[in-house]
Amino acid sequence: MKNCRLSWVLVAVLTIIVAVFAYKFTVGNVAPSDDGRQAVLLTKDERNALLLEMRTWLQSSQSVLAAASAKDFDAVVMAATTSGMAAEADTPGSLFRKIPVEMKALGFDTRRKFDEIAAEAAKNKDSERVVAKLSATMNNCIACHAMYRFVETK
Ligand code: HEC
């Protein structure tokens, strides 16, 4: 009997711990920002890693455009793949807990869209379709930048 009660207490405690972790994972490490956006609070190294990722996305976008206008579809595939899902492995694991869930969704969707650009270029070799896909991808850049900032904490 006593053992039974102990196990229920244990179940309750574990449930609370799991719920707290799930909550933290969903909201991320955020604070309101005075410019109306949400500040995602990161260490210096995490912020630098994400900003580097951002500059890679900007560079891929430009390279996709340049290659599409030159109708060099192998170069489109290469430029887009650089920012695709395979590059996610470079992202530090500690960030998964700190980034809000909607932001993660937008980030993953952006990588998927770069992979779709690569697939489109390889399949149809049509620069107009590549440009249209890049334009749709860049709506994610606009949406995320409108909502979030990266702020360094210790
Ligand atoms: C999931 C959210 C998200 C997406 C999607 C996103 N960004 Fe960002 N990006 C950010 C945040 C947050 C910052 C930091 C802005 C700030 O602190 O004011 C940033 C900063 C940047 C910077 C500045 C880098 C630096 O070194 O300061 C560039 C360039 C950039 N993004 C390019 C892009 C491009 C291009 C895309 C789309 C292909 C994109 N971003 C998509 C969230 C995102």
Tell me the average pLDDT across 9-14: 91
Which residue has the CA at smallest separation from atom 8 of ligand 1?
Answer: 54
Tell me the average pLDDT across 20-28: 77
What is the rounded CA–CA span in Å between residue 21 and residue 17?
6
Cβ of 149 below 6 Å from ligand 1:
yes
Tell me 37's DSSP state.
S
pLDDT tens for each residue of 122-140: 999 999 999 999 999 999 9
Residues 6+ apart with CB under 8 A from 53: 87, 90, 91
- Which run of H or E residues covers position 147? helix 127-147
pLDDT band at residue 151 under the 50/70/90 scheme: very high
pLDDT of residue 28: 83
Could you say which architecture CATH assigns to the domain 29-152? Up-down Bundle (1.20)
- Which run of H or E residues covers position 149? strand 148-152
Asked whether residue 1 carries a pLDDT value surpassing 70, the answer given is no
Helices of type H across 1-85: 2-27, 44-69, 73-82
pLDDT tens for each residue of 33-56: 999 999 999 999 999 999 999 999
pLDDT tens for each residue of 71-96: 999 999 999 999 999 988 777 777 88
Substitution candidate for ligand 1 out of 65, 115, 144 with most atoms within 8 A of CB = 144
